[in-house]
Structure 1
Amino acid sequence: MVTDQNRRSLLKAALFGACAPVMPLGCASQPASKPALIGCAIKGRDKFSAVIADRNGQAIKQLPLPGRGHGVAVHPKLTQATAFARRPGTFLMVFDYQSGEMIQLRPADDQRHYYGHGVYSNGGEWLYVTEGERGTSRGIIGVYDVAHQYQKVAEFSGFGIGPHEVIVMPDDRLVIGVGGVHTNGREPLNLDSMQPSLTYLTPNGTILEQVALPDHHLSIRHLAHDGSDTVLCGQQYRGKPEDYPSLLAMHTQGGALKPLLAEPEQWARFNHYIASIAANEQWILATSPRGSCYGIWSKQTGELVELAALPDASGVVAYGDEFQVSSGSALVINHRYPERAVQHVSNVQWDNHWSPIA
């Protein structure tokens, strides 16, 4: 339920939602750099923002958020993007990434909360958002009509509880990382009976396929695809603290989930959690802010080829054969494997995920 305090926070953010350039530029000034990345950031104690950055991860504009953000969806045609509150989230914010102006700040519906992720349809008509029913964690994909002020027009459900990330495939199928965890706030309540899955839906919400890993304590959460038919899913392990199973898997619809390979002591470095994932033709990169590291796997063999330390490793995007990784320590890594990674300092304390602007 959206409380009066939540609504006051949203109104305050709306009143101060104009663009906040990092350099001493007015909102009407044109930045020298072209917007290329969007992510959420921490600006200080209880201060959060959505950040529009250039190709090197340097901020161009920042928009205040009423709470901590998580993922960002970028429209495929319009200069619009949507930032989502960290779960259990009470808001989503739509903004223009060229002008830096907020378009809409929308509170979650009564008895609903946001899980922190969403994605636009390939044609840009719809915004699909992972949501949950308060009190039960029943999983919902909220469908919002972009052309009509992001009105909610449908809800898809019936696929399980605790959905986290949703992505859209090139052929318009939706894929959901269903975590399977019932929570009260952020407290898990059903670890013994959780049922995570990787779920495929038609654009109209019909379930096409659901697959799961053998260990039901592997909560499927973050997703990516390789530009074709392969889906990558990253897990959060909710089992015994001393166990270190594979936290990353590949899947093509109709087949089995294939865990990627690393030694238990290498998986231990990820501290039971995979955050952002990106892939190109040869390599897969996944980050772990809890483990302050990232790993690179061979897409062909499924084997870990590099494990690197990065404090609070968070977002990742792929530009051809080069990966770019963000961190909460304001470092940005450019890595064209097997070449040596190049590190530089950003002007942003990045938080959670990055989304590229096409």
Structure 2
Amino acid sequence: MQPMVTDNTRRSLLKAALFGVCTPILPFGCASNGIKNQPALIGCAVTSRNQFSAVVADKQGQAIRQLPLPARGHGVAIHPHISQAVAFGRRPGEFMMAFDYQNGEMIALNSSGYQRHYYGHGVYSNDGSWLFATEGERGTSRGIIGVYDVQNGYQKTDELTGFGIGPHEVIIMPDNTLAIGVGGVHTNGREPLNIETMQPSLTYLSMNGKVLEQVSLPDHHLSIRHLAHDGSETVLCGQQYRGQPEDTPSLIAMHTRGGEMQPLLAEPEEWARFNHYIASIAATDKWILATSPVGNCYGIWSKETRRLVELAPLPDASGVVVHGDQFQVSSGAGMVVSNQYPLSAQTTVSNVQWDNHWSAIV
């Protein structure tokens, strides 16, 4: 086991900034107090200029409560069995915050520590005992999966490494295998430094750190970043293209262990709409939905044919979750789209300026 390195001063400052963490943004208090709307999803949001929060919302994307964050958040991991979640700082993030989403109480606030930063994503083990977070080494971008003991106050107990640089999102498969989108990009802050030599991959890792399989895409400029799985064995990968501006490569691929990457299909002018970047991905048994905030749109693909079946505009399209066979899509403009393809999509307005990703409470 690797010892945890802690920046006590920075952590103390972060904790001081977050006393009284639960703040109502509707006529609701921190406790439920008979609230009819039940928590169904959690995402990060922009509260006001230079103020950010994690927001617990109902199934329609209407906020129930918000928890202030010390800086801009990115992804949220939700515990599979109890009412706990963790919000991660946006790359290069300096914090992760664990909280109870039913009562709004903060459980732990971890600093990234000396020579480390968070990439903005994490996932619980299927039994809920461990939290796995994507991290990097400052100065080298060496990829790390930080391992945190949930029952021991989210103390860091180990670091898994040796799989590449620049990991972004990690998900867990039903068989407890970790799937990691390894972006392959060495950065200084957010500035890429190795575009011509980057080596992205989709990496499968055991929970004790053994590399089980690594696959890559034909174009090394396709940085693998965001992931989802279909509840079974298929992983969906969303890419950020780091090549020539005029190129229009496929930005999403499917993969099942032991097989080859299978790119999803769309016309060049359709890929151009996504502006070289895929953010959130979700899948039902028939359809795949992916968003692009920089492209102000989302697309739906058939899992069977891999072809794009719908391309829709949505300003600052951000998070997506699945409830049954219905997609819920968030927007930085406050809109929420309910799409049960092939039925017509329904758009409502929420009271939140959603930012980056959504995670569903199961």
TM-score (norm 2): 0.96
Q: Percent identity?
A: 70
Whole-angstrom distance in 2 between the partners of 1:164 and 1:301:
28
Deviations 1:107-131 (A, max 9, x none): 1121100000000000000000000
**Aligned residue runs from structure 1 range 60-139, under 5 A:** 60-139=64-143
Counterpart in 2 of 1:319? Answer: 323
> Any conservation in 1 of the 2:42–2:360 contact (CA below 8 Å)?
yes
Whole-angstrom distance in 1 between the partners of 2:11 and 2:143:
24
> Any conservation in 2 of the 1:9–1:66 contact (CA below 8 Å)?
no
Counterpart in 2 of 1:26? Answer: 29
Counterpart in 1 of 2:310? Answer: 306
- Runs of 4+ in structure 1 off by over 6 angstroms are 1-5
User: Shift of the alpha carbon at 1:23?
Assistant: 2.1
Counterpart in 1 of 2:156? Answer: 152
Counterpart in 2 of 1:12? Answer: 16
Q: Secondary structure at the match of 1:158?
A: strand
TM-score (norm 1): 0.97
> Any conservation in 1 of the 2:40–2:59 contact (CA below 8 Å)?
yes
Deviations 1:184-223 (A, max 9, x none): 0000000000000000011111000000000000000000
Q: Secondary structure at the match of 1:160?
A: strand
Indicate yes or no: 2:240 matched with 1:233. Answer: no
Whole-angstrom distance in 1 between the partners of 2:29 and 2:308:
46
Q: Secondary structure at the match of 2:17?
A: helix
> Any conservation in 1 of the 2:28–2:65 contact (CA below 8 Å)?
no
Q: Secondary structure at the match of 1:291?
A: coil
Whole-angstrom distance in 2 between the partners of 1:26 and 1:291:
36
Write the letter of the residue equivalent to 1:338: P
Whole-angstrom distance in 1 between the partners of 2:107 and 2:160:
25
User: Shift of the alpha carbon at 1:13?
Assistant: 2.8
Which of 161, 185, 188 is residue 184 of structure 1 equivalent to? 188
User: Shift of the alpha carbon at 1:321?
Assistant: 1.4
Counterpart in 1 of 2:226? Answer: 222
Whole-angstrom distance in 2 between the partners of 1:69 and 1:32:
27
Deviations 1:31-76 (A, max 9, x none): 2210000000001100000000001000000000000000000000
Whole-angstrom distance in 2 between the partners of 1:31 and 1:314:
27
Write the letter of the residue equivalent to 2:277: Y
Deviations 1:257-300 (A, max 9, x none): 00000011100000000000000110000000000000000000
Counterpart in 1 of 2:54? Answer: 50
Q: Secondary structure at the match of 2:15?
A: helix
Whole-angstrom distance in 2 between the partners of 1:70 and 1:10:
17
User: Shift of the alpha carbon at 1:4?
Assistant: 9.1
Whole-angstrom distance in 1 between the partners of 2:84 and 2:66:
14
Whole-angstrom distance in 2 between the partners of 1:216 and 1:180:
9
Whole-angstrom distance in 2 between the partners of 1:353 and 1:133:
24
Q: Secondary structure at the match of 2:162?
A: coil
Q: Secondary structure at the match of 1:159?
A: strand
**Aligned residue runs from structure 1 range 268-279, under 5 A:** 268-279=272-283
Q: Secondary structure at the match of 1:157?
A: strand
Task: Give structure 1 stretches of 5+ with no counterpart.
Answer: none
Relative to structure 2, which stretch is displaced further, 98-107 or 305-314?
A: 98-107
Whole-angstrom distance in 1 between the partners of 2:147 and 2:6:
19
Write the letter of the residue equivalent to 2:171: I
Q: Using a 3 Å threshold, how does the CA distance of structure 1 residues 149 and 87 change in structure 2: closer, same or farther?
A: same
> Any conservation in 2 of the 1:80–1:96 contact (CA below 8 Å)?
yes
Deviations 1:155-210 (A, max 9, x none): 11000000000000011000000000000000000000000000001111100000
Indicate yes or no: 2:351 matched with 1:347. Answer: yes
Whole-angstrom distance in 2 between the partners of 1:225 and 1:4:
37
> Any conservation in 1 of the 2:325–2:340 contact (CA below 8 Å)?
yes
